[in-house]
C-alpha cells in the first residue's frame, strides 16, 4: 500500500496503524515535509517503521545522468551551479531550468510552509529564506537575523524568527546543523549553520547572485555526508571552528573544506584548525587542488576524488 502526502488527512496515523495490524501488507508513506513523522505517528508505529530521507542527486549520481562530453572538472562546476534536481537536466535552457526550480520552490513554500503552518507574514518568511541563501555555511543566530531584518525596516521578534525557522527546516528546503563542542563533548543549540537541500535553489536569490564557490562546495560536502548516512555537526574549538565533525556509526572523523589552498595563509588556516583537536580520529582537508598537500597526519584530498570515492 502506497500513500503520498497522507499527512494532509486528519488522524491518518490511526488508519495506517489499523492497516498494519489487520492486513498482511507492506506500507509505504511518502511526503515532502518532516511533519509526516509526527509524534502521533511515532507513538502508533513505535519500533515498526524505518525512515528514509530522499535527497536530490549527489555528484556521482549526477554523472550517471549526465553523458555529455565535458571534462569531469567542468561537470563538477555545473553541479556546483545547478545542484542535483534530476529534472533540470532534461533541458539545456537556463530559462526552463529556472522556471522548474521556481515552481518547485513555490510549491514547497506555499504548501509545506505557509499553508501547513498558517503563516501570516509571507514577506517575513521569504526574507528569512533569502537571508539563509545569502549565508550558506555561515553561522546564523536569532539575534543576527533579527538585527538584519531591523536594518531593513522589518520588525520581528526572536520568538517569531525561531518559529519561522523551524517551519522552514521542517519543509526540508534547508538543513540545520548544530555545533559540537569538541573539548566539552556536547552539542550546542546556539549559532547553528544552515545548508540548502539543493544548490539549484540559489538561482532564486533575490539579490544578484555572487557565486561563493567555497560555501557551495561546503554545502555539497554536507549533503554528501548526509547521503552516506552520517550524523554531522559543526565543530567548536576555543578560537574557531572545524567545518564538520562526522559521526561514522560510533567512530568519528573531521573535515575542513575550502575552494583552493591558494596561499600559505590559507594552508595554515585550514590545517592549523586541527591544532586544538587532541585526538587520533582521522582529519581531512578537502579542496579543488590537484596537488596533495597532506601533512602532519592530516589527509588532503581533491574534492571530486573524495565525492567519487566509494
Rounded to two decimals, what is the model's pTM? 0.87
Query: Higher-confidence residue: 67 or 20?
Result: 20
DSSP 21-50: HHS----EEE-SSGGGG-HHHHHHTTTS--
Burial class (CB in 10 A: 0-12, 13-18, 19+), 206: exposed
Q: Tell me what the mean pLDDT of segment 60-88 comes to.
A: 91
Burial class (CB in 10 A: 0-12, 13-18, 19+), 308: middle
pLDDT bracket for residue 53 (50, 70, 90): confident
> pLDDT tens across 210-252, in order?
667 888 999 999 999 999 999 999 888 777 789 999 988 888 9
pLDDT of residue 223: 96
For residues 257 and 242, the answer to whether their CB atoms sit within 8 Å is: no
Alpha carbon separation from 127 to 70, 152, 155, 303 (Å, rounded): 37, 10, 12, 32
**What DSSP element (H or E) covers 10?**
none
> pLDDT tens across 188-218, in order?
455 688 999 999 999 987 666 566 788 899 9
DSSP 52-117: -------HHHHHHH--SS--HHHHHHHHHHHTT-GGGGG---HHHHHHHHHHHHHHIIIIIIIIHH
pLDDT of residue 146: 76
List the domain boundaries for the chain.
2-44, 59-308
- Report how far residue 137's alpha carbon sits from residue 205's, in angstroms, rounded to the nearest whole number: 16
Strands 283-287, 299-302: pairing is: parallel
Burial class (CB in 10 A: 0-12, 13-18, 19+), 176: middle
Amino acid at each position: 500500500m502506497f500513500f503520498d502526502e497522507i499527512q494532509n488527512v486528519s488522524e491518518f496515523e490511526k488508519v495506517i496503524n489499523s492497516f498494519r495490524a489487520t492486513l498482511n501488507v507492506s506500507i509505504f508513506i511518502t511526503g515532502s515535509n518532516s511533519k509526516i513523522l509526527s509524534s502521533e505517528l511515532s507513538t502508533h508505529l513505535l519500533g515498526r517503521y524505518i525512515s528514509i530521507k530522499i535527497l536530490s542527486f549527489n555528484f556521482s549520481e549526477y554523472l550517471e545522468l549526465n553523458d555529455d562530453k565535458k571534462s569531469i572538472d567542468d561537470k563538477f562546476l555545473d553541479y556546483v551551479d545547478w545542484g542535483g534536481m534530476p529534472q533540470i537536466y532534461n533541458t539545456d535552457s537556463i530559462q526552463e531550468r529556472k522556471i522548474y526550480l521556481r515552481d518547485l520552490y513555490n510549491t514547497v513554500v506555499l504548501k509545506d510552509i505557509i499553508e501547513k503552518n498558517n503563516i501570516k507574514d509571507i514577506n517575513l518568511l521569504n526574507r528569512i529564506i533569502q537571508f539563509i541563501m545569502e549565508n550558506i555555511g555561515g553561522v546564523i543566530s536569532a539575534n543576527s537575523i533579527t538585527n538584519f531584518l531591523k536594518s531593513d525596516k522589518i520588525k520581528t521578534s526572536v520568538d517569531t524568527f525561531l518559529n519561522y525557522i523551524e517551519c522552514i527546516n521542517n519543509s526540508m528546503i534547508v538543513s540545520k546543523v548544530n555545533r559540537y563542542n569538541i573539548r566539552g563533548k556536547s552539542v550546542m543549540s546556539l549559532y547553528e549553520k544552515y545548508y540548502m537541500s539543493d544548490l539549484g535553489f540559489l538561482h532564486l536569490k533575490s539579490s544578484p547572485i555572487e557565486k561563493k564557490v567555497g560555501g557551495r562546495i561546503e554545502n555539497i560536502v554536507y549533503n554528501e555526508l548526509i547521503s552516506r548516512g552520517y550524523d554531522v555537526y559543526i565543530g567548536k574549538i576555543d578560537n574557531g571552528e572545524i567545518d564538520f565533525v562526522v559521526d561514522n556509526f560510533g567512530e568519528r572523523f573531521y573535515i575542513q573544506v575550502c575552494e583552493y589552498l591558494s596561499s600559505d595563509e590559507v594552508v595554515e588556516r585550514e590545517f592549523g584548525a586541527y591544532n586544538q583537536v587532541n585526538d587520533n580520529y582521522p582529519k581531512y582537508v578537502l579542496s579543488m587542488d590537484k596537488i596533495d598537500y597532506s601533512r602532519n597526519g592530516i589527509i588532503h584530498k581533491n574534492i571530486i576524488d573524495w565525492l567519487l570515492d566509494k
